Chains A and B, each alone.
Chain A
Amino acid sequence: MWDLFVSIFVNVLIWIYDVIGNNFGIAIILFTILIRIVTWPLNAQQMKGAAAMQELQNDKDWQAIQKKYAKDKEKLAQEQMRIYRERKISPFSSCLPTLIQFPIIIALYQSITRSLGSTPLDLLKLSRSIIFPFLNVSDLIPLNSKFLWMDLGHPESIAILGFAFPTLALIVAITTYIQSKLTMPASTNPNDQSAAMSKMMSIYMPLLLGYFALNFASGLSVYFITSNILGIVQYAMQGKANWRNLLPGGQKKVK
């Protein structure tokens, strides 16, 4: 099942690569846009869920309940579930798109290495991954792994004064940080778990994705950067980007 999932990624990537004239970097960028379109309903759900959670956290009744049952966690949890039911809020809907990223990242990483066939076994696996009958993969092999200054099958770095400078890893970390900050909701409630979660993600996700970019094929970094930029543009176009979060003390100004 998992292999079929990876194979679909491989086929779509190679098909785009073939159509656009053998540029694997552009293929990854277009593939990322495709992924964003496919996961659009989930993103919309996330934004809706986040907004609902935000509304709830600032709700006077909910704050009163939190105060009332501050020492009775069990009762508080029951009340919380009741309110979720009444207001039709799914607490996990705001997490789902983030969680769904992980299998996509893993499948994309595997599909990049498999498509580029950088070892004999990868190339052999590629021969078994072709499920689109119109793809003549033997004509296309080997895929051109060069994109700008990068070899998409290897981790990226630029030598500056004899030091290997991980440019892409930094860009990945910065764009991830910007995206998570922009989407972080403003909260006035100190007990707001959702805000605490968003804050935690805005710290850990840039570090984690930066680590991935540092150590894995740079094609994955191209995906991260494209996805982050698309996310930022998407939020900005919808007028939901919280630009003040990028400023030091921006959270406080919201209050």
Chain B
Amino acid sequence: MRRKVLFVTMILLAAALLSGCAGGPVRGATWPGLAADENAAYLADGPYVFAISLKDGKELWRYPAETDGDFVFYSTPVVTPDGLVIVGSAGKNHSLIALDPNDVSTSNNNVNSPGLAWTFNEARDQWVAPPLVVDDKLFAVNADGFLYVLDLQDGQSTKKAVKVAHIDGRLWAQPTTDGGRVFITSLDHSVIAVDIETYEVLWHEDIGGAVTGSAVLGPDGMLYVGSLASRLEKIDPASGRREPVLEAENWIWSTPSLDGDTLYFGDLNGRLYSFNTTAGRLNWAPVQPDGPITASPLLRDEYILVATESGSLFALDRGGKVLWSQEVGGKIYTTPVAAGDLILVAPLETEFYLAALDQNGRQIWTFTQGN
């Protein structure tokens, strides 16, 4: 009898442990996506996309109204000029959806939820990258290796999907454009240029390491991109010819932030780099806040704000001197967002989902589901 109980207990324990680590529609499977407009913050955080009032941190609406096990959201929401909120699911459901905040209704469980302007269901894998809005089109890249070009109004594909990456060429970063070309980065170690009108692949350059961030168009007309080969690369957008310009200490995860002719970016050793694209060298020796950096630095007039995995924010002046630091808590992987006078931070492993801070790092409000 005792052995039977032991056996059944072990089975249940194993089932519970496996289920617990299956990465279902729960918070914390990975870090959330965060965006804002002048009224609300939009947080894609596991089972829900939340709209949160910037005034007081109260929930304005959430999507879906009730948990749907097939939806997992963590790609950064994109707010279109028409006010639609576009976000993709990384769950079993691979939809890219356009939410209409002007069409909010209250569901049976007394939750406000926006209407769906459209959904796009043809992608075969998860949505990690936010789409790029160019005029009336969306350039959306999926982890299935395809670029989907959609009509912004109805989400219909304007052309059959374009295969831009090799097998397992997961596309995790928002594309960028110079007006004539769309530049896509891939985990298959590539940067790819696609003609913005014909959607033809113009060039496909192997840079020797997976790329998780977007390419940045520098003031010199060149593309700059960091990679998990721990290098910053300079790429000619016309030909795709590349030149490594900086060796970092560890993986460069995020998209560099461009300020004039200077790129700011961090690495997983926790170093913050300030690279002058004109001079082709660092402005100052890398500074090391207090933990690995996966978020892009947030540029403000007065300072550069760096978030670390240790859960801290560091404000540095353009010379690399720390002006102030603030411990937010948890682990910060998501790039902080500025919304008016507020700085929004979405840490993992904290009781709250989102914190709003003032310009000096003082906490104004926090948001948790249900508050």
Contact = CB atoms under 8 A, between A and B. Distances in A.
A and B are interacting partners:
yes
Contacts of A109: 18, 21
Contacts of A105: 14, 18
Contacts of A120: 30-31, 74, 128, 172, 212, 294, 333
A139 B208 CA distance: 7
B33 to A, nearest CB: 10
A120 B331 CA distance: 14
Interface stretch (A173-181, A197-205, A229-237): A197-205
Contact of A204 (B11, B13, B268): B11
Interface in B155-180: 167-170, 172
A193 interface: yes
Contacts of B133: none
A35 interface: no
Given A120-B128, A138-B210, A197 B168 contact: no
Given A141-B228, A193-B3, A208 B11 contact: yes
A113 interface: yes
B18 A106 contact: yes
A119 B29 contact: yes
Contacts of B15: 208, 211-212
B209 interface: yes
Contact of A95 (B3, B250, B251, B333): B3
Contacts of A123: 212
Q: Which of A120, A139, A204 has the most CB of B within 10 A?
A: A120
Interface in A84-117: 91, 95, 99, 102, 105-106, 109-110, 113
Contact of B7 (A119, A122, A124, A197): A197
A45 interface: no
A204 B170 CA distance: 38
Contacts of B4: 197, 200
A143 B15 CA distance: 27
Contacts of B90: 119
Q: Which of B10, B30, B90, B167 has the most CB of A within 10 A?
A: B30
B279 interface: no
B170 A216 contact: no
A121 B11 contact: no
B229 interface: yes
A127 interface: yes
Given A144-B168, A201-B7, A102 B14 contact: yes
Contacts of A211: 15
Interface in B258-302: 268, 294
Interface in B10-56: 10-11, 13-15, 17-19, 21-23, 29-31
Contact of A121 (B188, B209, B229, B333): B333
A145 interface: yes
A146 interface: yes
B308 interface: no
A142 interface: yes
B223 interface: no
A52 to B, nearest CB: 16
Interface string A118-152: 11111110010000000000110111111000000
A142 B210 contact: yes
Contact of B268 (A122, A127, A208, A212): A127
B230 interface: yes
A127 B14 contact: no
Contacts of B251: 127, 138
A167 interface: no
Contacts of A122: 30
A215 to B, nearest CB: 7
A142 B29 CA distance: 19
Interface string B168-204: 1110100000000000000110000000000000000
Given A119-B30, A123-B212, A216 B22 contact: yes
Nearest to A24: B168
A146 B167 contact: yes
Q: Which of B90, B168, B229 has the most CB of A within 10 A?
A: B168
A113 B30 CA distance: 13
27 contacts: A91-B3, A95-B6, A102-B17, A105-B14, A105-B18, A106-B17, A109-B18, A110-B21, A119-B23, A119-B128, A120-B31, A120-B212, A121-B29, A122-B30, A124-B268, A141-B209, A142-B168, A142-B187, A143-B168, A145-B168, A197-B7, A200-B7, A204-B8, A204-B11, A211-B15, A212-B18, A215-B22
Given A109-B18, A139-B229, 19 more contacts: A95-B7, A102-B14, A113-B21, A113-B23, A119-B29, A119-B74, A120-B172, A120-B212, A121-B333, A121-B348, A124-B333, A127-B228, A143-B168, A144-B167, A146-B167, A146-B168, A200-B4, A211-B15, A215-B19
The 9 closest A-B pairs by CB, nearest first: A121-B30, A119-B30, A102-B14, A142-B187, A141-B210, A138-B228, A120-B30, A106-B17, A144-B168
Interface of A: 91, 95, 99, 102, 105-106, 109-110, 113, 118-124, 127, 138-139, 141-146, 193, 197, 200-201, 204, 208, 211-212, 215-216
